[in-house]
Structure 1
Amino acid sequence: MTAARPTDAQIADAILTLAAARAPASLCPSEAARVIAKDGRWRALMARVREVAAQLAGEGLLVATQRGRAVDPLAARGPIRLSQPPYGEAASDGDGSSASVRPSRR
């Protein structure tokens, strides 16, 4: 994956695989970027990782949090954490609406 630009599907797979392995704990988006960019250039992927995380949150497959509160990964400033939503619950931004500002990709 280092020679070619990773696809959104590859980024989503990395995020979801790490989230499943960590459940119920969370992960830093940089961990997914590091898995994808094995050449050490993971920082260049951080914006795309947050974009894909926002899509996954909008689909209810992921929760992005900051200081323990659900946030939109694209709107949040500073560090965020990613995790699977609690069993039987869809991800939301805390007021019942989707944590993503992007439409579903599927």
Structure 2
Amino acid sequence: MTGDAEIARVLRNLAKERGAERSFCPSEAARSLAADWRPLMPEVRRIAREIGLVATQRGQEVDPVSARGPLRLRLPPGD
């Protein structure tokens, strides 16, 4: 099982690689952690919220845990 710290590390790395102006799909993190990545998605979204990443849908900020459907993650402004 993939731990919270490993998920957080992957999310931070993806966010830093993209920089403040670009976003990424949370599935990119899940896919890099496990071949069977879909079960990881709720944890990836939860941890993204915990570490302060901004989640958006169609350009609007949303809660990554309660949002339904695809979303994007990015660094908060100023990071």
State the TM-score, normalized to the length of structure 2.
Answer: 0.92
Supply the AA of the counterpart residue of 1:6: T
Say which of 23, 46, 50 aligns to 1:26: 23
Secondary structure of the structure 2 residue equivalent to 1:82? strand
Cα distance in 1 between the residues matched to 2:2 and 2:25: 19
- Higher strand fraction: Structure 1 or Structure 2? 2
Cα distance in 2 between the residues matched to 1:6 and 1:27: 20
Cα distance in 1 between the residues matched to 2:66 and 2:45: 10
Coordinate RMSD, CA, aligned:
1.1
% identity of equivalent residues? 53
Between 1 and 2, higher relative CO (CA 8 Å, sep ≥ 6) is seen in: 2
Unaligned runs of 5+ in 2: none
How many residues matched? 78
Q: Which residue of 2 aligns with 1:93?
A: none
- State which structure, 1 or 2, has the greater radius of gyration over its C-alpha atoms: 1
Matches within 5 A, 1:47-58: 47-57=42-52
> Which consecutive segments of 4 or more residues in structure 1 shift more than 6 A?
none
Unaligned runs of 5+ in 1: 89-106
